[in-house]
A = this chain, B = another copy of it.
Amino acid sequence: MMRPNQYDAAITIFSPEGRLYQVEYALELVKRGAPVVGIFSPEGVVLAANETPESVLEDPNYFRKIFQFDEHIGVAIAGLSSDARVLLDQGRVYCQSNRLLYDEPADVESLMGVLSDRMQVYTQHGGVRPFGVSMIIAGVDTRGGKVLTTDPTGSYRGYKARAMGRNADKADKLLDERYEEGIPLGGAVKLAIEAVKTASEGEITPDIVKVAVIPKETRTFRRLSEEEVAEHIR
């Protein structure tokens, strides 16, 4: 019945403690999202997600959590899928423009900068609400593999391994314990699936854990088949 005071009602103001409640509330939405994980390996990057359908009749092509920005960059999202789509569209345009203008693939960090800048604007200016989505962007560019995360504040950070969405704290704890420097790509896939499982609270089956990899060698986004995922589960 207790409710915070008025500082949480308007998007562009600080509370007396210097907090931006709207942004924090958006993070609550993110925390209810399906678990997603990103892992860096010297051999490439991995994205994994729990993509459980709402109904047995749902088409798996439309409740994805993992998307492709460009040949060499993927993203896993947690939060409002309609908000995410807006950012996905903008990111894809950025990647294509980059290829057209400079004849080379977009830099992972530059892409993140473009998206985060837009997200920041929505936290400081009136007449809009923050984006209700967090993202793990993983890619391999000329400078190597990168796993970057951003949230509704529009801040971004880099990680060796990171989870987002429901029970992200549990998954992060697992990643902290199990991640090893120099982990091979296969090990990263296995660890990512393990983290998704931890956050999913219960048994998971190969058909609901989705995994995508961008090997350093090919620099090409590839979704693992259900069989490949099954191999890593047990």
Contacts and interface: CB of A to CB of B under 8 A. Distances in A.
9 contacts: A6-B9, A13-B22, A14-B28, A16-B28, A19-B29, A55-B159, A57-B162, A62-B148, A80-B155
Interface residues of A, number: 76
Q: What are the 3 A-B residue pairs with the smallest beta carbon separation, nearest first? A: A18-B29, A59-B158, A18-B28
A9 B8 contact: no
A200 interface: no
Interface in A158-204: 158-162, 172, 175-176, 179
Given A9-B7, A31-B18, A157 B120 contact: no
The number of times this chain is found in the oligomer is: 7
Interface stretch (A95-103, A121-129, A215-223, A226-234): A121-129
Interface stretch (A41-49, A67-75, A81-89, A205-213): A81-89
Tell me if A's interface is mostly helix, strand, loop or mixed: mixed
Contacts of A80: 20, 153, 155
A167 to B, nearest CB: 15
Given A58-B157, A82-B119, A176-B56, A14 B124 contact: no
Contacts of A122: 124
A116 interface: yes
A214 interface: no
A176 B128 contact: no
Given A58-B159, A59-B158, A130 B82 contact: no
Given A57-B176, A82-B155, A126-B126, A14 B132 contact: yes
Contacts of A62: 148, 156-158
A80 to B, nearest CB: 7
A66 interface: no
Interface string A11-29: 1111111111110011111
